[in-house]
Structures are given as structure tokens and as C-alpha cells.
Amino acid sequence: MSELSISQKAEIEASFAKQGLMRTFGAELDSVEYGKTIISMPFTEAVSQQHQFFHGGTIGSLADTACGYAAISVVAQGDAALTAEFKMNFLAPADGDRLIAIGKVIKPGRTLIVCQGDVFIEKNGNRKLCATMLMTMCVVKNLGHK
């Protein structure tokens, strides 16, 4: 497996910093490796649903973003990876203080990249898997990470 260069990691970090939705969520890019990223965010009223759990849309967005940057970590610099499709399974209520999304590349390719995103809910220091996503990313040449 290849390694992520310092410039690729910096490019991903700069791209993440431009994401308005992740800023709105208060999300942080905790880890960037070749083929894997970890993003976390705290619970706030702004991302809740009526039972005071994390909203499913929030969970999906966090998983999508974690998978997206995992995919970007395996493409050539200057290329992008855009979501083509995903399927999400919610496994447990997201009742907790923090979400942690781990995006991993399962199968890299020249035009399509398959990723898996696991989202954990953390409450009182304990983690539980609350959702899992399977997604396909489409490689777009020379788009850059605007």
C-alpha cells in the first residue's frame, strides 16, 4: 500500500477546512492516512432530531465526508473523488455526546473507488457502532480540491 505524501495530506486538510457543512457541524478531521480518514463532531441542538439524538442526515453527511477524503487520499494529486452513490444502514440510535466516522477505501480504481464508512456514537467514554455506509466514489481527473 502506498503512503500519503505530506503535500497530499496538507491538500486534504485544506480542502476539509473549506467545507461549510463540516464547519457548521463543528467537525474535526482527526486522522488522515492513505485510504483512511477519521472525522468527529460533538452533539449540538443544531444537529439533533426530535428525540435529541443525532439526526440521520448528520450521520450520513459525516460518513460521506470521511469516505470522500479516504478516496481522495488514493487518487493522483489534482484529481478529485465525488460521491456517485451510497447506501446507509442505521444500526442503533445515535444517542450520545460525539460522533466518530471512519472512512476506508475497500477497492481503489482508476474511475471508481468503493469505500466503507462506519459511524460510532460515543457516550460517557463508551463507543457503539450506530451506522455503516457502503459507497462508490467517481474519480474526476484534474478537478483539483478547490
What is the reported pLDDT for 142? 78
Q: What is the CATH number of the domain that holds 54?
A: 3.10.129.10
Q: Are strands 28-33 and 126-140 parallel, antiparallel or unpaired?
A: unpaired
| Residue 39, domain extent | 6-140
Note the pLDDT of residue 123. Answer: 96
Residue 79 within any structural domain of the chain: yes
CA distances from 25 to 29, 59, 104, 141 (A): 12, 11, 21, 29
Number of Cα atoms under 13 Å in the Cβ half of residue 45: 0
Across 22-49, average pLDDT: 96
pTM: 0.93
Question: What local confidence, expressed as pLDDT, does residue 3 receive?
Answer: 84
**How many structural domains comprise the chain?**
1
pLDDT at 78: 83
103 belongs to a structural domain: yes
Q: Could you read off the pLDDT of 54-89 as tens digits, one per residue? A: 999 999 999 999 999 999 999 988 889 999 999 999
Share of the chain above pLDDT 70, in %: 97
Is residue 19 one of the residues assigned to a domain?
A: yes
Amino acid at 112: L
CA distances from 105 to 18, 48, 68, 70, 126 (A): 22, 29, 9, 6, 26
In a domain, 40, yes or no: yes
Does some domain include residue 146?
no
Task: For 42-60, give the secondary structure using H, E and C.
Answer: ECCHHHECCCCCECHHHHH
The answer to whether the beta carbons of residues 115 and 104 sit under 8 Å apart is yes
What would the pLDDT profile of 21-30 be if each residue is shown by its tens digit?
Answer: 999 999 999 9
Task: With a cut of 60, say whether residue 146 has pLDDT above it.
Answer: no
Question: Is 37 domain-assigned?
Answer: yes
